[in-house]
Structure 1
Amino acid sequence: MLSSIISSSLPVSALLTSLLFSKDASAEILQSVSRAETAFNTLQTFYNSSNGIWNTCGWWNGANCMTVIADLAVLDVSVRATAIDVFNNTYTVAPGVNPNPGVEKVSGASGVPETTYTSLWPLAPLTDLFAKPGTVNASLWLDGYYDDDAWWSLAWIAAYDVTGNEDYLRLAEGIFDGMTKGWPTNCSNGGIWWDSTKTYVNAIANELFLSVAAHLANRAENSQYYINWAKKEWAWFAASGMINENNTINDGLTTDCKNNGATVWSYNQGVILGGLVELNKASPDPSYLPAATKIADAAISALTDSNHILHDPCEPNCEPDATQFKGIFMRNLQLLQEAAPSDTYVQVIQASANSIWNNDRDKSTNVLGVDWAGPFVEPADASTHSSAMDALVAAIVAN
């Protein structure tokens, strides 16, 4: 129902609010909202208010936890106050556990995934590791890996969309400025490196660079600056060879700048979708959405099963990073669905969300696992849970 009126001049959040409080709200929308709210409450049982990160997952995963919370808060006013408290707290205390860079995730003595952070205290005065009211210090959020930096930039953009807090937007801009230091690589004199030590040219860092620039182009004052960066990145990426003959995206380039043929991960198929949707909003071009649609269709063909449920090749053993990937795809697929509606996208979102709830949920705790087709298996943690929650939130709008 909601997807059928997504072209309305009202924002999605306003449409959803009006539907939820009207007699016309469908049972499907109400069910989707209820599931997402339950997932939100469960995710918050992992939240560590003392360090602003979710226990059992790492630094970059924390940014994605915050993003999915913000995405729900845009749609559902009932969680907004808690979400805003999380943003305020994480903004203040999380820099104190920035690994800079460190070990994001290790197995503890019990075998349960835990987060290990390298303290920054020897590198800076203790008082400099926490945000001060009215100040924005983007350097506190950088850890030497441009993809990690970008996840936090997108998280603060999402928080800005909920709150209108200009500090969050300025922080996102500052993080992006740090990312520009990674341009250019040795491959056709463009793109950004994965890390500040220039060890690898990969898809995710470059897709995120595009996405952050395009998101900022629709929010920041200096829109043209970000449009120029996004266009330059997309032109380079489209010609880089990372998009293969099947229209899926491999993980990166070899040292001589050829497609390395590495795993087709779901998140590499997803981030580019949101980036192109946002770029098309900021600077419309008839090629952007068709390019995104081609990648999305290829990804769905490659990564969904006969029941239309999304998978990554590592399942069920996807620790420590790939547990996050599928939710990122779903988040961005929903952005494409809003811009270029497709029954196939709705089918994948709804099938995945329904299967997560029915087959991949610990019924006693409501924690969500990594294999969305089920059955629920351990380990399950804040990363697997927040990733699956992305699908539940996407399902609200895909009704």
Structure 2
Amino acid sequence: MLRQYAFTAALLGTSTVTGTYWSGWHGRGNPWQWPGPYPSAGGWWLEQSQDVLSTLYNTYWNGTYWVEDPSILQWAAAVVNTFVIDTQRTFTTAISQYNGNFRGSQVNAQQLQADIRKYYSDIETFYTSGEDVNQIFDAAYDDAQWVVLEWLEAIKFINQYDAYSKSSFGQQDIAEFAHRAHIFYNIVQDQFNTSLCEGGLTWNPALAPYKNAITNELFVSSSIGMYLYFPGDNNSDPYPSTTYSNRTLPPLPYLAPHDPLLLNNAKEEWAWFKSHNFTNAQGLIVDGFHISDGQTTCDQRNEMVYTYNQGVMLSGLRGLWEATGDTSYLQDGYSLINTVINATGWNAHGYGQAGQWAGLGRNGIMEDYCDAPANCSQDNLIFKGAYFEHFDLFCEPLPTQTPLVKGLTHLADRNLANSHSQNCRSYAPWIQHNAYAALNTRNTTSDIIGEWWGASYVNRTQTPAPKYTHPKPLGSVDIANKPWLLSQPPWRCDGQGDCESYVGKVLIGERRRRSRKRQASEQVRTVETQAQGLSVVRAATNSVLNRRAYADVVGGGGR
């Protein structure tokens, strides 16, 4: 356990603050910009990644699937698996960059190799037995794309690990992983529709049209991911599993690697998204647009702001640069990141200002609106993790020597690679600040990370804190945390698809979650909250590990 540290009102300009979050901070710099006690210790952060991942598995993994009550949502299970996969990519980076050895740390290459093989076996099991692909196949368009990204990341991991180890580890699985990505991308690849709002994808074909941010951000990221990493697939079976019952689909068409259609989808989608006013006055991405009856334009904007909407586009923008060499995509990414960092209060001018709600958090720590009042839905419990997943993918070093896709991937010149590394290194204290705050929400009985990371800064538990609740933006409807609104206008059923059944399942799941929550003494700690903790801790780990990679690509060297 971290020792407690107390500070006086005179030092902080406010009431006395105590708690494990402050352990090791001795008054240097601004407290809301403190990256924790080990900002340069890659070994320490690796140990935290190992520990958080181990706790995730020991608590929630039953050998096949993630177990909790109520059951994890299927799209969230795909996201959790993605975090696990990319943690293996981080372990591979640690081995290849440092041979897994860090001074003053228990981490070593042999241990990381063992972790990689253990968790990869579980990833294979989840693919074959755990993932409920039938349910996701019939769900909303955003759900399908989380699955696409999940198995593309698995392919990336295999290729990264084998390039380092000069082995064929996992190669036998690539065709199967690619086929699942292909099946689920096929659901959305032709859904960009200009008849409403001049373009974009609707969220859910079972509900009235809603052009929401997350579905369209995912279309950029999934399309460019398929273009860059998909190895091709000639398996014509269009069904997600042998048990899928509605067998009326035509054969799945062959999709070649690096098909120009995939790149065009990503470019067209981003151009549409950027030109259709998805950001509020602060620059934060709002949730989406409804179309009024009798209209074809997106004329009703939902002003609700969620953390994951700010990040999923980032991996897509990074991929668009890799495919085209157009640096405007990177510049758009830096702008989105800086907007979010500012919206957490990180750049506040004083302690009092830092503690005020800044649009997406306070005290430099990312929050969703539901965190402090402890009324997050099951969906929302993984949003911050999705943000840091895609943030981390954006900030991987730019390739300057060996293209990821021979003949297609653009290579950065050294000035651009250096500029990218400078930008991403400047974010490291903020990432570590958030990761350390998340780690300090662990309880003493289970070691599970809580939902409200900011609680550790203000010396609160995960119990509801009305004092820190902030009103939602004017003109917002919090559909992620109030799913019963799906049965009301403007999300009303419009006769398309099995709307009543879909809404009914959502409401049953939410009632079960809230019933369990009423019996708890604090916010529910779940597989989702632990997984999103893994995501931010992994990002903090990479913020240190990438220093070597940044130095290598720009010719610096050194740790």
Kept in 1, the 8 Å contact 2:193–2:200? The answer is yes
Instruction: Find out whether 1:397 has 2:542 as its counterpart.
Output: yes
Report the TM-score when normalising by structure 1: 0.78
Contact 1:327 1:386 in 2 (8 A): yes
Native 8 Å contact 1:324 1:383 kept in 2: yes
Give the structure 1 partner of residue 436 of structure 2. 354
Separation in 1 of the partners of 2:40 and 2:433?
16
Equivalent residue for 1:282? 323
**2:53 maps to what in 1?**
40
2:272 is aligned with 1:265: no
The corresponding residue for 1:107 is: none
Shift of 1:189: 3.4
* Cα distance in structure 2, aligned partners of 1:245 and 1:297: 14
Indicate the structure with greater helix content. Answer: 1
Give the conservation status (yes or no) of the 8 Å contact 1:248–1:298.
Answer: yes
What does residue range 186-265 of structure 1 map to in structure 2 within 5 Å? 186-197=195-206, 199=208, 200-220=210-230, 221-256=257-292, 257-258=298-299, 260-265=301-306
Q: In the alignment, what sits opposite 1:379?
A: 524
Out of 342, 365, 371, the position equivalent to 1:309 is: 365
Displacement, 1:181? 4.3
Q: How does 1:73-222 map to 2 (within 5 A)?
A: 73-77=88-92, 78=112, 79-95=115-131, 97-98=132-133, 100=135, 141-163=136-158, 164=171, 165-184=174-193, 186-197=195-206, 199=208, 200-220=210-230, 221-222=257-258
How much has 1:239 moved relative to structure 2? Answer: 1.3
Structure 2, unaligned runs of 5 or more: 1-38, 93-111, 159-170, 231-256, 293-297, 347-353, 355-362, 398-419, 463-522, 545-559
* SS of equivalent to 2:289: coil
CA gap 1:355/1:178 in 2 versus in 1, 3 angstroms: same
Q: Deviation at 1:31?
A: 0.7
AA aligned opposite 1:294: S
Cα distance change, pair 235–321 in 1 and its aligned pair in 2 (3 A): same
Q: Is the 8 A contact 1:185 1:193 kept in 2?
A: no
Q: Deviations over 1:346-368 (max 9, x none)?
A: 122110111112x2112332211
Contact 2:286 2:302 (8 Å CA) reproduced: yes
C-alpha distance in structure 1 between counterparts of 2:441 and 2:152, whole Å: 30
Match of 1:321 in 2: 379
* Preserved contact between residue 227 and residue 262 of structure 2 (Cα < 8 Å): yes
Cα distance in 1 for residues equivalent to 2:197 and 2:393: 30
- Cα offset for 1:54? 4.4
Q: Distance in 1 between matches of 2:137 and 2:43?
A: 39
CA distance in 1, matches of 2:313, 2:332: 10
Structure 1 letter corresponding to 2:441: D
Paired with 2:263 and 2:190, the residues of 1 have a C-alpha distance of 17
State, as a whole percentage, how many aligned pairs show the same letter: 26
Cα root mean square deviation, aligned: 2.2
Q: CA deviation at 1:301?
A: 1.7
**Distance in 1 between residues matched to 2:342 and 2:299, nearest whole Å:** 24
One of 419, 439, 448 as aligned partner of 1:367: 448
CA distance in 2 between partners of 1:167 and 1:337 (Å): 28
Letter of the structure 2 residue corresponding to residue 151 of structure 1:
W
Q: What is the one-letter code of the residue matched to 2:218? A: L
Report SS of the residue matched to 1:182: coil
Report the CA distance shift for 1:235/1:350 in structure 2 as closer, same or farther (over 3 A).
same
Which is bigger in relative contact order (C-alpha 8 A, separation at least 6)?
2
1:43-58 equivalence runs, <5 A: 43-44=56-57, 45-50=59-64, 52-56=65-69, 57-58=72-73
Q: Is the 8 A contact 2:221 2:266 kept in 1?
A: yes
CA distance in 2, matches of 1:49, 1:228: 40
Q: For each residue in 1:272-308, what CA deviation from the matched residue of structure 2 results, as whole angstroms up to 9, or x when unmatched?
A: 1111011111222121111111122112222456332
Structure 1: distance between partners of 2:263 and 2:543: 28
Number of positions where the alignment pairs a residue of Structure 1 with one of Structure 2: 332
Q: Distance in 1 between matches of 2:87 and 2:157?
A: 9
Q: Does 1:336 align with 2:394?
A: yes
Give the structure 2 partner of residue 345 of structure 1: 427
Larger CA deviation: 160-169 vs 337-346: 337-346
Match for residue 84 of structure 2 among 69, 79, 94: 69
Q: Deviations over 1:110-133 (max 9, x none)?
A: xxxxxxxxxxxxxxxxxxxxxxxx
Deviation, structure 1 residue 32: 0.5
The 2-side partners of 1:289 and 1:205 are apart by: 21
1:161-197 C-alpha deviation (Å, 9 max, x unpaired): 2235232123212211111243215433311111123
Structure 1 gaps, min length 5:
1-25, 101-140
Judged with a 3 Å threshold, the aligned counterparts in structure 2 of structure 1 residues 304 and 175 are, in CA distance, closer, same or farther, namely: farther
Question: Alignment partner of 2:287: what SS?
Answer: coil
- 1:396, CA displacement in angstroms? 0.8
8 Å CA contact retained: 1:182, 1:192: yes
C-alpha displacement of 1:99: 6.9
Task: Write the letter of the residue equivalent to 1:234.
Answer: W
* Structure having the higher Rg: 2
How far is the alpha carbon of 1:152 from its aligned partner? Answer: 1.2
C-alpha distance in 2 between matches for 1:183 and 1:279: 18
TM-score when scaled to structure 2?
0.56
Structure 1 residue 27 displacement after superposition: 6.4
**Partners of 1:267 and 1:325 within 8 A in 2:** yes
- 1-structure distance, mates of 2:446, 2:306: 29
